[in-house]
Amino acid sequence: MRKNEDIALVLSCEHAGNRVPAECRALFRGKQRALESHRGWDPGALEVARAIAKETDAPLVAATVSRLVVECNRSIGHRQLFSEFTHSLDREGRTRLLDRYYHPHRGAVEAVVKSALRSHRRVVHVSVHTFTPALNGRKRTADIGLLYDPSRAEESHFVDVWSHALHWEAPLLRVKKNYPYRGWTDGLTTTLRGKLGARRYLGIELEVNQALAVGPARRSSDVPNQIARSLALLLPG
């Protein structure tokens, strides 16, 4: 498979942990179950992101504060930016969370992307996530989802090629496009698309089924490394 010699990879992980800062701990007293669930973070996402970073030598920016504290993958003003646990804070308290955890993460990702664009013609930003195997009683029917904006030709092409590379590395994995979510809805990649040109910035969200990312299945499989190798096939090196 031909590699693109003028493309850089940048990785981010918006839900890498479920840490609660000391200033918010009183708000989460007795809420450990929520913090440990998929609502609190993306279990396994950081491990997948680290496997890709190790294989490709790409920079990784990860947010380890729980998404229930502040949701780093939502825009300012989005109804899910703050959870039911932090929405009750006054304006000063919410602004403090944004200044300490939200803006630093998003600013760091944008800075790394722009830095890469100074030395490369194009940047692929892969935002790494995991999804729960079932939601609201409905079983998800994919192992990997690749989320992108179909109106951006470069993203569509890259996802097509990456899908083939994933099939080459792991032919038994079920890969779906824009599943289990749509790639053009609100998120960090969507925000960056609005700031950067379609030919220079490709924003892809990688979604991995938690059944393969954590637990016994993770220990008996090589899915993070298979994903990493599939992406490395498309990059210089």
Answer yes or no: is 124 within a domain: yes
State how far the Cα of 4 lies from the Cα of 87, in Å rounded to an integer: 45
Place of tokens 């890969």: 175
- The per-residue pLDDT for range 31-70, each reduced to its tens digit, is 999 999 999 999 999 999 999 999 999 999 999 999 999 9
- What is each CA distance from 212 to 44, 45, 58, 229, in whole angstroms? 9, 11, 23, 16
- The per-residue pLDDT for range 169-195, each reduced to its tens digit, is 999 999 999 999 999 999 999 999 999
Mean pLDDT in residue range 140-151: 97
Q: Quick check: 1 pLDDT over 50?
A: no
Q: How many domains are there within the chain? A: 1
Spell out the residues 6+ positions from residue 135 whose beta carbon is closer than 8 angstroms to its own: 180
Confidence tier at 236 by pLDDT (50, 70, 90): confident
Q: Quick check: 221 pLDDT over 90?
A: no
Answer yes or no: is 237 within a domain: no
Mean pLDDT in residue range 186-214: 96
Answer yes or no: is 92 within a domain: yes
Confidence (pLDDT) at 237: 63
Given a contact cutoff of 8 angstroms between Cβ atoms, the answer to whether 185 and 179 are in contact is no
Task: Kindly state the greatest CA–CA separation across the chain.
Answer: 54
State the CATH number of the domain containing residue 133: 3.40.630.40
Long-range contacts of residues 86-91, Cβ cutoff 8 Å, at least 24 apart: 86/24, 86/27, 88/27, 89/27
State how far the Cα of 82 lies from the Cα of 78, in Å rounded to an integer: 8
Place of tokens 């809420």: 31
Confidence (pLDDT) at 214: 78
Q: Where are the beta strands (DSSP E) in the chain?
A: 7-13, 60-62, 122-131, 134-135, 138-139, 144-147, 175-177, 201-209
Answer yes or no: is 225 within a domain: yes
Nearest of 198, 203, 204, 201 to residue 227 by alpha carbon: 204
**H/E segment holding residue 52:** helix 45-56
Mean pLDDT in residue range 108-134: 97
Mean pLDDT in residue range 119-140: 95
State how far the Cα of 211 lies from the Cα of 187, in Å rounded to an integer: 24
Q: What mean pLDDT is reported for the chain?
A: 94
More confident residue, 214 or 193: 193
| pTM score of the predicted model | 0.95
Answer yes or no: is 74 within a domain: yes
Answer yes or no: is 1 within a domain: no
- The per-residue pLDDT for range 76-116, each reduced to its tens digit, is 999 999 999 999 999 999 999 999 999 999 999 999 999 99
Answer yes or no: is 2 within a domain: no
Confidence tier at 142 by pLDDT (50, 70, 90): very high
Mean pLDDT in residue range 155-178: 97
Domain containing residue 207: 7-232
Strand order in the sheet with 60-62: 60-62, 7-13, 122-131, 201-209, 144-147, 175-177
Answer yes or no: is 125 within a domain: yes
